[in-house]
Amino acid sequence: MIGRRLLTLVPTLLGVVTLVFAFLHLVPGDPVEVMLGESARPADRAALRADLGLDRPLLTQYVDYLAGIGRGDLGRSFTFRKPVVEVIRARAPATLLLAGCALAVAVSIAVPVGVLAAVRRDTVWDRGSLVASLLGVSMPNFWLGPLLVMLFSVRLGWFPVSGNEGWRSLVLPALTLGAALAAILTRMLRSSLVEVLPSDYLKAARARGVPEWKVIWVHALRNAGLPVITLLGLQLGSLLSGAVITETVFAWPGLGTLLVGAIQGRDYPLVQGCVLVVSLAYVAANLLADLLYRWADPRVRGR
């Protein structure tokens, strides 16, 4: 299974690169005009276009870009005048930190709330978790983020409004990004536990005198967590894509704000590099979910 997934990596990334390259050149707007302005002289425009390599045919640019990817060269940013790899390397740690904290927030909320909803099925706790989950899924990041800023930053003054000023600047973006994932994981874990709790092996464990907390948190949770692992691998890609909006709202200096700025400035190599990195991270997250699933379920290890 893992071998097949690795074999699909190359055509997947090739398709992503091809589509992004094509769409970027179809979008109205000229990077030379963005950089020099409308009042620039034609000779200056032509010189800059030749310097950036935009005077060559599109097919030649595409083939050269693919050849560069094979060498580990993602091109040179039009805006920063640096290799794209260096620009992305400088911004990637901030995005990884935000995504990791958002994932920690989501799991720390989903696990106890999902277990409580399953154990207290059809009670006020279960119904309350359902309402909270629906709210978490329904509220988009671009609405939840400003709402948290107005409450906790503007009115209460607990956290900075934007930027990166230490751990306090990370709280609101992590909550914003992790809210929807926490809601999805909570409902999945609750549904999975409801199916597992009446199982015979859990009844046998109780008959042997195993404490109830151990029955739920060790035996039941391990089996109920298998579908959650699969869902988590699929949602990690959404976590990275949601980081683009969240970072823009909070002016977090990561790949999201870098990508938005590159799109606005028609920085073709930087946009392509950012999308390629996000695609790689998405594939890697799904591969990691497969590995975790095989580790957690002995029945699929020999397949």
Q: What is the pLDDT of residues 174-223, one digit of tens each?
A: 888 888 888 888 888 888 888 888 877 777 878 887 787 777 887 777 77
The token pair at 262 is: 């590159």
* CB neighbours of residue 104 within 10 Å: 12
The answer, yes or no, to whether residue 97 has pLDDT greater than 80, is yes
Q: How far apart are CA 71 and CA 65, in angstroms?
A: 10
Q: How confident is the model at residue 37 (pLDDT cuts 50, 70, 90)?
A: low
Is this model's pTM higher than 0.85 or not? Answer: no
Average pLDDT over residues 244-273: 84
Identify which has the larger pLDDT, 151 or 55: 151
Q: How far apart are CA 15 and CA 21, in angstroms?
A: 10
123 φ, ψ (degrees, to nearest 5): -110, -175
The token pair at 65 is: 């870009």
Q: How far apart are CA 222 and CA 166, in angstroms?
A: 35
Question: Is the separation of the CB atoms in 194 and 121 below 8 Å?
Answer: yes
- Which CA distances in Å does 227 have to 6, 11, 136, 187, 231? 22, 27, 20, 11, 6
Question: Is the separation of the CB atoms in 143 and 217 below 8 Å?
Answer: no
- Which CA distances in Å does 258 have to 101, 117, 172, 273? 20, 40, 20, 11
Q: How far apart are CA 180 and CA 162, in angstroms?
A: 21
What does the mean pLDDT of the chain come to? 79
* CB neighbours of residue 41 within 10 Å: 9
Task: Please tell me the predicted confidence (pLDDT) of residue 156.
Answer: 82
- So what CATH class is 84-300? mainly alpha
- Which CA distances in Å does 272 have to 21, 34, 227? 7, 18, 33
Which segments within the chain are labelled E, that is strand? none
The token pair at 10 is: 């190359």
Q: What percent of the chain has pLDDT over 70?
A: 86
